[in-house]
A and B are shown apart, each in its own frame.
Chain A
């Protein structure tokens, strides 16, 4: 911008103001233009999925494509829910996710408390061991975990689906940071009041750490709800524990002539998470950006 880099005292006041105003207006327009284009890139695929889920199948191939459902086929939603078994899959996903989220919080709180407040031998080494789990992506261990689960007889069970994920190095790291940032006087005051460690944890640390625990919960909810590889391997060809994500694959594969129904299923699987995002945006951002900003 050459205009704004000119030495201010040389320009006479009046034209400078109008020039700046024009500049500001142009920049504002450019900004909203970028925002609109970006929004369209994000929204058009989702919007078309919703529109297509309501079309009569023959309309799908129409050119130009219908951008509004003139004859909405609402029955595709109950179809996906019952004959596509999406109701069952959503129940399974909920069970899986609730088990993982609640127990991840328990194991992380306990370990983080030990690292933040207790004294014990090999503390640093153990913490490094915990952190090193962050360097091993689950995908790298998936082959062996599958044979472990299968030799335990846990294929097609909720244990098999969830137990490998009941501890999280990220959760321990996040909570330990939060616990350490609590004022140290709290610990001393609690000891003076005769609080043992357990009471200090449940009465002082947990209530004060609710926001960060909520952040971990939202993060781990998202992670487990959207898991794909592991549920695919563990649930095999069985309906019993099949999750939404694997159900969607089935929906896409078995009903090619019913794209509208499979897209209705997609919307059903997607909508709860959008609502979750709107409600828990702050917590989600906090957990996703943990470690990015010093």
Chain B
């Protein structure tokens, strides 16, 4: 397109005007706080509010990252992610494969399987909190009646929260997998069947490799989702018990550092950086893996 110099300059002004609102919000509420974390992480929060905070540089990282509380929080977080993401994705894939064919009643099944995507963490927490409540008769009727109750047990609290998160992630996982399946060219699957491959072989040798971009997209989305889990813990466990029940995942640990009577911005900043770096590593690893797999699959 050929534009006169005058029109071009007019374009610059308009572009600046159009970009400004987004850039302003990003500057103030994304980039500034992001970089401010790195500055704050160098300062030790004073023992009493009102005193000036002290510059201690990188030793703050060392003292927090080597604390047993941090290690425990990190392990809980990773364990939680491992419980939620693979299970959620496998269930989503299984349901998507089952609901993929245009058969009778499939529209209803699809709405049902997608439905948990619209549930909020608070809704999920209240529904499952009631089911897991030891007074309510449902679990005891099934013969599940541990003492201490599920959500008060250091062994079972985290897996119980994970079960809720899987249920809630299932909707998104199903939607992503179904969209992936529907984007596959039918002729390739048909060709494999004509070649005499059974359903099981076709699924593992043809469908899954071709679906690998979708599966890894699901992995990235699911990992980020799992790292952001917060509401269920806040509603069902609460600050006093989170650490003792081994459910103080990183985000909850950050929340505890800024709330309460003695907020610790320095610690919160270090933990925020750690959370960012872990999510970044997971995302990049998965993206790298996608590229390799996609090439491997010959696409």
Contacts and interface: CB of A to CB of B under 8 A. Distances in A.
Interface of A: 1-2, 4-8, 27-28, 31, 34-35, 38-39, 41-43, 45-46, 48-49, 52, 60-65, 106-108, 110-111, 113-114, 118-121, 126, 129-130, 133, 135-137, 139-148, 163-167, 169, 172, 187-188, 191, 197-198, 222, 225-226, 228-229, 232-233, 244-246, 248-249, 251-253, 259, 262-263, 265-266, 269-270, 273-274, 276-278, 281, 284-285, 288-289, 291-294
Given A141-B34, A273-B118, A292-B218, A166 B25 contact: yes
B123 A62 contact: no
B214 A107 contact: no
B37 interface: yes
Interface in B161-189: 167, 170-172, 175-176, 179-180, 183
Q: Give the interface SS of chain A, mostly helix, strand, loop or mixed.
A: helix
Nearest to A110: B18
Given A293-B179, A293-B214, A27 B33 contact: no
Q: Give the interface SS of chain B, mostly helix, strand, loop or mixed.
A: helix
Contacts of A245: 120-122, 231
A259 B122 contact: no
A251 B94 CA distance: 36
A38 B98 contact: yes
Contact of A62 (B30, B112, B137, B201): B137
Interface of B: 1, 3, 8, 11-12, 14-19, 21-26, 28-34, 36-37, 40, 91, 94-95, 98-99, 101, 103, 109-123, 125-131, 133, 135-138, 140-141, 167, 170-172, 175-176, 179-180, 183, 196-201, 213-214, 217-218, 224, 227-228, 230-231, 234-235, 251, 254-255, 257-259, 265, 268-269, 272-273, 275-276, 279-280, 283
Contacts of A2: 198
B283 A135 contact: yes
B214 A139 contact: no
Given A61-B137, A292-B213, A270 B33 contact: no
Contact of A130 (B22, B198, B224): B22
B109 A45 contact: no
A45 B26 contact: no
A157 to B, nearest CB: 15
